[in-house]
Every structure is written in structure tokens, then in C-alpha cells.
Amino acid sequence: MNSFLSRSLALLTVACLSACGTQAPVGQSVSGPVVYKHVQSSQIQRAAVAPALYEVAFSARQNAVFVASSGGFGEGAGASKVLRLDPKTLAVQAEITLPLRGFGVVLDDASNRLYVGNTTEGSVTVVDTASNRVVQAVPLMKKVKGADGKEKYPHHFRELVLDTANDRLYAPGLSSDGSSLYVMNTRTLTLEKELPGLGAVATGIALDADNHRLFVSNMRGGLFEVDTRSLNISKSYDVAADQMLNLAYDPKARRLFATDQGLSSISERRQKAEPGFKPTPGNRVVVFDADSGKITTSMQTGDGPIAPLLDLSRQRLYVTNRGAGSVSVFDTSSHQLLQTIALPTHPNSMALDSRNNVLYVTVKNGRNDVRGSHEAVVRIAF
């Protein structure tokens, strides 16, 4: 691994662990005109629940919020857990201790299963949400010996996506040396396939179940389409958005939303290492035609956009802005910014209770907070 890629991966590992993706909401029909009313402070609840929070999921079936806590890093770090929260009060109802450190999550509500990505340990842990118990930790890769002679996992996981029709879970494994897509069979809890060729630092992922395709983006301006029947890359694009972190897919309009971060630290390193490289603007959401890979429009966000979450029935797109300490609310029809909601310090991932129009956001601590102190889950009742 060259020095530029090594430094970039170090930066991106921190960013990616802090920027795990977003739970896709279950679609609910909403009758009448779609009118947005600005959120007031009285509609926002905040609770500090555990250290090192990452992704969050809402279960309509269990009427509960689930959030992953890695427990922290280094000596003295606590155990990693999934916390079950009351969806109205955010009080902790149960703590599920994980065998490995958990970060990203994805929920299969119909099957009472929560899948937790063990980002740095090459595996996925399966949790039973009805009994609040760990089912199994599923290894998806083996350690390899690096140039320094040390053994380590070749890829890191962050976002997870479920394909319930095919009993699969998809997980991009990111690396500066080249990324792979890991495909886990959720029925047998085994690795079905590792698909390489996704370029450097693949982070974003979104499923178009109706058209049997999976989209994966990387942090070098690469966008890939994977055929979920053959599990091969069917299309690839070089696009004018070089720091695509997370993706969201709109099946009705066949369009793809991508957060283009625009971190100056990454752009500066690339400019030094790659003569002639010109970074894209960043701090925006880029909208793609999913069939052609062409950018149709972009929307300005706050600094450091992380996770996009679509509420299709209400024509809303929510975006967490890590650097700005806010959540942007957009109208997906007009692409207009409707509101910026301040949630200091670092809003991270989101989940939506679509039926009750309630958004849950994990908020990470800043530099001035006590190291190892609890981080927050925020409830926004629209």
C-alpha cells in the first residue's frame, strides 16, 4: 500500500466508522397534500445512552429502537452492545452484549433479526430482536499477512443492505488496496460470494430489488452496478463526485442519491499524489439517473454530509451533516432545502418510523466532550 493510500485509509477509517449508513424506512402511504411544518425545539428529544454509538434501526414490529454501541477503543473500552430503546422516551429497555465490536446495522423486521457489522473484525453478528439475544457471529473473511508481517483482515465493513427476496445480506468491504462486495446467505448464515473489483474505499451501497441490481460507490468517483442474479458487476461509471460516502435509492423515479463529502484533507492529499486532480465541490447530495449514471442535479448540504435517508411517501430526503452538526431536510420533488435542524455535535446515522413520522438520529461527541462519555440518540417528531 503506498503512503498516500495508507494515510487516506487512516482518515477514512475514522470517517467511515463515524459515518455508517442509514436505515431505509418502510414505505407508508400518506393521503392529502404533502406539507412541511418546521420542527420546533419542543419536538426534539435527546438522550445520552452509551459510549461510541453508531447505526440505529427502528422496529415497527417490536415497537423499539435498536442502536449499536461499539463500547469505544483502546484499553479500558467497554463491551460492545446493541441497546433496545423505548421509541417514545429513549429509555434503555435492554442491553444485548455482542461478542465482537458492532458498528453498522440493518434490520429484517419480518424475521425479528438485526444484523450488526463487526467493521474491523471481518464478520457480521446476528441478533434476535424478539428475545434480545445474539444468534451467531458469522465470519466472512480470514486474516492475511500484510507487508509489515502482521496479520489483519483485508477489508473493513460499514454499511449493510438486505435482499430479503434472495435471502442475502450485502456488505462492501473497503480497502485502499481494492474493495470487494461480500455476500452473506441469511438462511444458512454463510458466505455466498466475495466479489472484487470495486476500486479504492468502497463505502456506499443501495439496492434496487425490482430490477435485480445493487449500486456500490467508492471514494474515488467510482459507481458500480452489480447484477444480483449473477452477482457480477454489470456496469461501472466514473462520475464527477469523488467522495461519495453513502447512497439512497428511489425506485419510483429510478434515481440515486449520494452524499459527496468534499473533505479538504482527502482532496489535498490526492492533489499532491495525483498531478492534475481537481476535486469536486463536496458538501452536497448528488442525484443520479440510475439507468445512465449521469448526474441530474445536486443539493447543497452542511459541511461533511454523511447519511441520506429517503421518505418517499412524504417526498423528503434527510441528510446528516457531521461537520456542520445538523440535519438537512429536502423536498425530493423540487430539490429545495426545507429546513436545517441543529443537532450538535456530530449527527451520524438515522432511522425512520414512517407510520408516525418520527426520525431517530445518533449524535456523536465532539473533541471537547469527555473521552469515552455517553453519546446521544435524538428523537424528532415531525
Tell which residue, 64, 45, 44, 46, has the closest CA to residue 105: 64
Average pLDDT over residues 275-303: 96
Average pLDDT, the chain: 92
Phi-psi region of 112 (alpha: psi -120 to 50; beta: other; left: phi over 0): left
CB-based contact 126:189 (threshold 8 Å): yes
33 within a domain of the structure (yes/no): no
Q: Is residue 35 part of a domain?
A: no
The larger pLDDT score, comparing residue 176 to residue 31, is at 176
Residue 170: inside a domain: yes
Using the predicted structure, report yes or no on whether residue 128 has a pLDDT greater than 70.
Answer: yes
Q: Based on the structure, what is the number of domains in the chain?
A: 1
The answer, yes or no, to whether residue 33 has pLDDT greater than 90, is no
Q: Given a cut of 60, is residue 32 above it in pLDDT?
A: no
The pLDDT tens digits for 226-284 are: 999 999 999 999 999 999 999 999 999 999 999 999 899 999 998 988 888 899 999 99
CA distance 261 to 2: 23
Residue 73 is predicted with a pLDDT of 83
Identify whether 286 is part of a domain: yes
Q: In this structure, what CATH number is given to the domain that contains residue 198? A: 2.130.10.10
Residue 356 lies in a domain: yes
Domain contains 163: yes
91 within a domain of the structure (yes/no): yes
Give the torsion sign (CA, 321, 324, 325, 327): negative
pTM comes to 0.93
Give yes or no for residue 14 having a pLDDT over 50: no
Q: Which of 76-80, 219-223, 256-260, 378-382 has the lowest mean pLDDT?
A: 76-80
The pLDDT value given to residue 31: 52
Task: Give residue 124's domain range.
Answer: 3-28+40-381
3 state DSSP class of 149: coil
Q: What percent of the chain has pLDDT over 90?
A: 84
Predicted confidence at residue 34, as pLDDT, reads 79
Give percent above pLDDT 70 in the chain.
91
User: Does residue 34 form part of some domain?
Assistant: no
Quick: pLDDT tens for 190-222: 999 999 999 999 999 999 999 999 999 999 999
